[in-house]
Amino acid sequence: MLMKSVAGTIKKSTWSLALADFKELTKVRLAVSVVFSSIAGYFLGAYEVNLLSVFLLAFGGYCMVGASNAYNQIIERDLDVLMHRTRNRPIPAGRMSAKTALAIAIVLTVLGIVALYLLNPKTALFGTLSIFLYTSAYTPLKTKTPLAVFVGAIPGAIPFMLGWVAATNDFGIEPGTLFMIQFFWQFPHFWALGWMLDEDYKRGGFKMLPTGKKDSGTALQIILYTIWMIVISIMPVFGFTGRLHLSIPAAILIFLLGIIMLGFAFKLYEKKDNPTARKLMLASVSYITLIQLVFVFDKWLVTLL
């Protein structure tokens, strides 16, 4: 009985470790946030909510993001060893082979494409494009030029618009606007993150900041892109973004949220330190989540009224 108990405990522990490594390989928190953006876009585009469609979008979205992250970690495994924040990932730590990770990435890619194709071909196309750009353009460029962030912002901006396309099988001004909101948001978000982790990124040879330094130039660009983000975010209130609308109260709320984030950007320009960069990064995460909720609640509240 004791031997069985020990064997059961070991087996349970092995499965727990395997699950933890899978979550680390697919970056579960990032994947969940991407799925959240996609579902928000779906609710904005849908005339009525279909739970099966929501499930396919969530499942397919997680698979595609998880696959992108797995490919990324396979490609960068030798660089991950050099950085404090990545050296304990499954591949550089030796808990998972690159071949196993590749098999997982391929399975996730196939499952993701199939799930998104069942929604409609356009959704599968954009999902596939996001994986291709992330792994074939953004990942190799990170060690060559700060312009990698601009390239990476393209697949990073797809999820919000992907939900609209999944709901409508159409790409127009509405999903284009959602794309632009998340596109401009990524610059202050990732540059704040890059500021915090600059020393570690340099160990791996990554060029993440636009000027290559934690200086006034980088902070100024963060401010400028934050302003563009605010402008794009409130555009739907003016009525020229098709079915994507914002009421005046919702637009004012989104504008105020943007001003708060802009305040953190100015603080970074003033102080130029890691704690302030961290506050800006956290503010950016709160901003994108809250404005997506405001967009969705505003649409359905207006519909109900």
The domain limits of the chain are 25-171, 172-305
The pLDDT of residue 11: 55
Place of tokens 């970056």: 27
Summarize pLDDT for 136-191 with one digit per residue, the tens. Answer: 999 999 999 989 999 999 999 999 999 999 999 989 999 999 999 999 999 999 99
Dist CA 132 CA 128 (whole Å) = 6
Pick the CATH number of 25-171 from 3.40.50.10540, 1.10.357.140, 1.10.630.10, 2.30.40.10: 1.10.357.140
The pLDDT of residue 303: 64
Q: Which residues contact 193 (CB under 8 A, 6 or more apart)?
A: 208, 277, 281
- The tokens for 171 are 């790409």
Q: Could you give the percent of the chain with pLDDT greater than 70?
A: 94
